[in-house]
Structure 1
Amino acid sequence: MYEVELKFPIADARPALARLSALGASAAHSVEQADCYFNHPSRDFGQTDEALRIRSIGDRHLVTYKGPVIDVQTKTRREIEIPLDGSDARDKLAEILAQLGFRAVREVRKSRQPYHLHRDGREFEVAHDQVVGLGTFLEIETLASESERPAAISAIQKLAADLGLSAPERKSYLCLLLEKTGKNS
């Protein structure tokens, strides 16, 4: 599966969220997310444009691998995600990764208010993110198979335009934080 994403830094989310509501989106429960990113021992994920993270949402944990971005208009990339079972799963996986030579790079913390929208036969998640150290963003994403990618890219661009969003940020929150603090991956 491919994740097709556009992310926008935004000073005031209210106008876009009002448009989103008018389109029939439903708000889900807001969550606090902590994403711990890791770098490979023999290749620099910052150079290869890959990501490996453990996401914690309360006592739920997910491990996610994201491949390189494959599209110049959006952040479209292959994504593989699996849940981790057990309250200590995050710590145990982090220990395994450390033993294999992976290095924890940085944690990204955010408050996320997700909205779900079904439009034109496609499911979208629009997230209103408050990222610690970066500010406010609206992130739009949908999933697509290889054959659906062009249609998904077109659909996500249309939704962004309908929400009044322009000038997407193609860098990840991790990259933006590392740049802000003057550290590399």
Structure 2
Amino acid sequence: MIEIEIKAKIDDKNDALNKIKSLGASYSHSEEQEDIYFNAPDKDYRETDEALRIRLVPIDGEVKKILTYKGPKIDSKSKTRKEIEVEVADLDKMTDILIALGFKPSAIVSKVRRIFYYDEFTITLDKLEKIGYFMEIECMTNDEEDIEQTRDNIMELFKKMGITRGFERRSYLELLEL
């Protein structure tokens, strides 16, 4: 799958929530996410613009664990990249496998995420300690020919909400490492 994503820094959380609601997006749920990032034994993902993480999401007394690989960004205007995800049953065993293969835990990123849906788009409002609030709009596709049109559609949604600045291509991990 290809994840087409654009995010913007948000100054006012309540204003952003009102803009999402005025768009007609439907609220799904909120969740606390903890992402454990790993770096490869043979290359530095900061240099190759890749990411490997295990995301922990508490849901109904259980913790969902998702292993995700994100490839390098495909274009210069968004955070569009190949994304491969698989749910894992055992965090400790998955971590042990990665470490045995030479991967090293490199950072933890925690956030509170409010999730909304609008047509085929997922809109999130994220709160991260130290760096504040961000709105992300994303859409998944299997077809590389859809990237440019989908990216334009995402920018149109931002414009409809009056968000025309604050766009950020760096990941939360990169922003927190500054």
TM tier relative to shorter chain: over 0.9
Task: Decide whether the 8 Å contact of 2:30 with 2:114 is kept in 1.
Answer: yes
* Structure 1 residue identity aligned to 2:31: V
- Unaligned segments of structure 2, at least 5 residues: none
* Structure 2 residue identity aligned to 1:103: K
Task: Decide whether the 8 Å contact of 2:10 with 2:16 is kept in 1.
Answer: no
Matched, 1:43 2:40: no
The residue number in structure 1 matching 2:173 is 174
Deviation for aligned residue 1:140: 1.0
RMSD of aligned Cα (Å):
1.1
Matched, 1:69 2:69: no
Task: Decide whether the 8 Å contact of 2:8 with 2:166 is kept in 1.
Answer: yes
Per-residue CA deviations over 1:44-64 (Å, capped at 9, x if unaligned) read 100000000000001101010
* Structure 2 residue identity aligned to 1:158: E
* Structure 2 residue identity aligned to 1:149: I
The residue number in structure 2 matching 1:142 is 139
Percentage of matched positions with identical amino acids: 42
Task: Decide whether the 8 Å contact of 1:108 with 1:132 is kept in 2.
Answer: no
Task: Decide whether the 8 Å contact of 2:23 with 2:160 is kept in 1.
Answer: no
TM-score normalised to structure 2 length? 0.92
The residue number in structure 2 matching 1:90 is 91
Structure-2 separation of matches of 1:42 and 1:5: 28
* Structure 1 residue identity aligned to 2:80: T
The residue number in structure 2 matching 1:163 is 161
Deviation for aligned residue 1:155: 0.6
SS in structure 2 at match of 1:30: strand
SS in structure 1 at match of 2:94: helix
Task: Decide whether the 8 Å contact of 2:10 with 2:166 is kept in 1.
Answer: no
Higher share in strand: 2
Structure-2 separation of matches of 1:26 and 1:150: 25
- Unaligned segments of structure 1, at least 5 residues: 180-185
Runs of 4 or more off by more than 6 Å in structure 1?
none
Deviation for aligned residue 1:25: 0.7
Task: Decide whether the 8 Å contact of 2:113 with 2:126 is kept in 1.
Answer: yes
SS in structure 1 at match of 2:73: coil
Deviation for aligned residue 1:138: 0.9
Structure-1 separation of matches of 2:92 and 2:160: 42
TM-score normalised to structure 1 length? 0.89
Structure-1 separation of matches of 2:101 and 2:83: 22
Structure-2 separation of matches of 1:91 and 1:108: 18
The residue number in structure 2 matching 1:183 is none
Structure-1 separation of matches of 2:47 and 2:107: 16
Structure-1 separation of matches of 2:112 and 2:37: 17
Task: Decide whether the 8 Å contact of 1:64 with 1:82 is kept in 2.
Answer: yes
Deviation for aligned residue 1:108: 0.2
Task: Decide whether the 8 Å contact of 1:32 with 1:109 is kept in 2.
Answer: yes
